[in-house]
Amino acid sequence: MHDDRPVSSRRLLSTDAALLLLAAAIYGGIFPVNRLAAETQWPPVGFAFAQSLAAGAILALAAVVAGGRFAVTAGQVRTYLIIGGLVVGLPIGILVSAAPHVDASVLTLVLCLSPLFTLAIGALAGIDRFDRRTFAGMLLGVAGVAVLVLPDAGAVGPDRFVWFLVALIAPVMFAAANNCAKWLRPEGAPSLMMAAGTLLGGAAVAGVVMLALGGAVLPFEWTGRTLMPLALATTINAVFFVLFFELVARMGPARFSIFNYLAVAAGILWSLAVFDERPAASFWLALILMLAAMYLVLSRKPD
């Protein structure tokens, strides 16, 4: 079949796809890192707070070195707190609270509704237009995740239904954060500065959530095994959030959100490599569905 799109458009598609796959590959590493953190007795919200604070501080320093200043006006601080709270601080508290009451496989499927919510919010707010090709791609992504988690997912009984609804708030927040990354971003603000501010804002909100939930804040002892997951998570967040703002600016919130499916697949691959596990046959079917979803979403003709 003849492709009548300009060469530059094809190059843009391949660049966007490469960056999206890179972001998913990097962020997918957070799944085995979280497992390592749990094994070394890191409190979940405390771990989110520490990695966000460390990554944000490193990027803020990098922004100062690169541009001579890090913007901290009232408007900027408000933006950082909103996006950081939506993408880190508040969802972590919700997921930690819901985790004992909802199966992990169900939570995974719930979180992967974020792209659909991103598209809906963006279309309603006029940030992005509703597109059938994008919607079909997102449904393919949901199907891919469903292939992975449904065989192990228990039914959500009446006694857990309220917590299931509570867990649904998290993907709505992630979706809002995707749109706010474009809507609230000041004109000309570099991705590096936005990433630094968002992580610091997320740390601030996570700190409040941590105090509200009570419990331990840090591990009981500091060792090399305790520091390793923190160092890895800090690096992953520092790199990923720069890519996050860069990609949302390039392709829009809805098309970027397909990343959520790819990150799940990448997380499984990282876990297989780190913990020497073998993938189930269903994983390869799920991966094909997710890659097909990415192709459908990114091959949409530019507006």
Q: What is the pLDDT of residues 92-126, one digit of tens each?
A: 878 777 777 776 666 666 777 788 888 888 877 77
Domain assignment present for residue 37? The answer is no
Which pair of structure tokens corresponds to residue 188? 């000309």
Domain count for the chain: 1
**Residue that is written with structure tokens 């530059």 in the block:** 8
Domain assignment present for residue 13? The answer is no
Looking at residue 5, what is its pLDDT?
44
Residues of the chain above pLDDT 90, percent: 22
Domain assignment present for residue 201? The answer is yes
Of 3-12, 55-64, 291-300, give the lowest mean pLDDT range: 3-12
Residue 199, pLDDT above cutoff 50 = yes
Domain assignment present for residue 65? The answer is yes
- Model confidence band, residue 237 (pLDDT cutoffs 50, 70, 90): very high
Looking at residue 6, what is its pLDDT?
45
Of 85-99, 191-205, 233-247, give the lowest mean pLDDT range: 85-99
* DSSP H helices in the chain: 7-28, 30-39, 44-67, 74-84, 90-98, 104-111, 114-125, 132-149, 161-183, 191-213, 224-251, 253-256, 259-275, 281-298
- pLDDT, tens digit (0-9, with 9 covering 90-100), for 204-233: 999 988 888 776 777 877 777 889 999 999
CA 26, CA 14: separation in Å to the nearest integer? 18
The answer to whether 265 and 28 have CB atoms below 8 angstroms apart is: yes
Residue 1, pLDDT above cutoff 60 = no
CA 236, CA 240: separation in Å to the nearest integer? 6
Higher pLDDT, 278 or 157: 278
CA 168, CA 240: separation in Å to the nearest integer? 24
CA 234, CA 240: separation in Å to the nearest integer? 10
- Model confidence band, residue 56 (pLDDT cutoffs 50, 70, 90): very high
Residue 81, pLDDT above cutoff 90 = yes
Read off the pLDDT of each residue in 130-138 and give the average, rounded to a whole number.
Answer: 76
Find which of 137-151, 189-203, 257-271 is predicted with most confidence, using mean pLDDT: 189-203
Domain assignment present for residue 202? The answer is yes
Looking at residue 61, what is its pLDDT?
92
- pLDDT, tens digit (0-9, with 9 covering 90-100), for 26-39: 988 888 888 788 88
End-to-end CA distance of the chain: 23
Domain assignment present for residue 287? The answer is yes
Domain assignment present for residue 119? The answer is yes
The contacts of residue 156 (CB under 8 Å, 6+ apart) are 102, 106, 164
Domain range for residue 187? 43-298
Higher pLDDT, 225 or 11: 225
Domain assignment present for residue 288? The answer is yes
Residue 182's alpha-carbon distances to 109, 178, 292, in angstroms, are 26, 7, 26
